[in-house]
Structure 1
Amino acid sequence: MLQQYNNILVPIDGSKEAELAFKKAVAVTRRNGDSAKLHLLHVVDTRAFQNISSFDTAMVEQVTETAKKTLEKYVAEAQKAGLKNVDYSIEYGAPKVIIAKEVPADKDIDLIMIGATGLNAVERLLIGSVTEYVTRTAACDVLVVRTDLDNKPVLNEKKSKK
């Protein structure tokens, strides 16, 4: 018998890799039946605002509003694809811990589907890969999405276009 996943989490950060993870997660959720739920998550990295001397809540509100619009678009797309149980949340803090530990514990997540990378090489070097941390520390299964819906590698496409 195939593994049954009931609560699937997809972190959304606006990257192409996150979009691929979302599309594959919709397909996986559909295959797991009507009881399966898809949870979309955006984490506002509050560390990004720590160095801004004129920090004000309007900046966080603007980032939150943009994330909300993006997530609502994804929810509508998932519903159009036939999913009945799809929701989203916006959290604030360190993405690594929220994605790997906090939200999975709160929502009883049994599968995290995450893009291979949402950062460039310099960001990965300085702050580390969220994906790497999630795969190493999450208590549930983690699927790192590296291919499109036809299982064609997308990371290699980028290199060949240069």
Structure 2
Amino acid sequence: MLQQYKNILVPIDGSFESELAFKKAVAVAERNNASVHLVHVIDTRAFQNVSSFDSTMVEQITEKAKETVKGYVKTAKDSGLENIDYSIEYGAPKAIIATEFPKKLNVDLIMIGATGLNAMERLLIGSVTEYVTRTAACDVLVVRTDLDNKSIKKPK
């Protein structure tokens, strides 16, 4: 019997890698008649060191995130995928993507872009992708290629 995924989670952060994951997730969802849940997590820890916390900064980041994910939703619906939704969350991306959302939405597959960090950044702050692959209770597919499974260089 073939594995059939029903609830696919795709973390979106505006990176080239997350866009690849999104495109592949739409294709997998169409083949499996699955739902796609997009999540963009605004890392609130980044604001803890801002001495004069300005709520307009968070609002601007939230609006930009909404624009991005709404664009993805439109693209998916234009390609024929109806079962797609999104959420903007606040907190620690690793925990939300690896454990909170999979439990909340009964996710059976997380499709996540390969890390965009260089080796030094991974050493200092860690990779969300690495954490998710290590701790998620469901299947995790790390997307590194385009829809034709061809390796592509990130645009500069």
- Calculate the TM-score normalised by the size of structure 1: 0.92
Which of 119-128 and 134-143 deviates more? Answer: 119-128
Q: Percent same amino acid among aligned pairs?
A: 75
Using the alignment, how far apart are the partners of 1:89 and 1:121 within structure 2?
A: 30
Residue pairs, 1:111-130, within 5 angstroms:
111-130=109-128
Q: What does residue 95 of structure 1 align with? A: 93
| Deviation at residue 67 of structure 1 after TM alignment | 0.2
CA distance in 1, matches of 2:94, 2:139: 16
Measured in 2, the distance between the counterparts of 1:129 and 1:32 equals 29
| Residue ranges of structure 1 left out of the alignment (5+ in a row) | none
- Look up the match of 2:30: 30
Q: Does structure 2 retain, via aligned residues, the 8 Å contact 1:11–1:41? A: yes
How many residue pairs get aligned? The number is 156
Could you tell me which residue of structure 2 aligns to residue 45 of structure 1?
43
Match status 1:6 vs 2:1 = no
RMSD of aligned C-alpha atoms? 1.5
What are structure 2's unaligned runs of at least 5 residues? none
Q: 1:133 maps to what in 2?
A: 131
Query: SS at the partner of 1:51?
Result: coil
User: What is residue 56 of structure 2 aligned with on the other side?
Assistant: 58
Please report the TM-score for the alignment, with normalisation by the length of structure 2: 0.95
- CA offsets per residue over residues 17-65 of structure 1, 9 Å max, x none? 00000000000000002xx100000000011111111112111111000
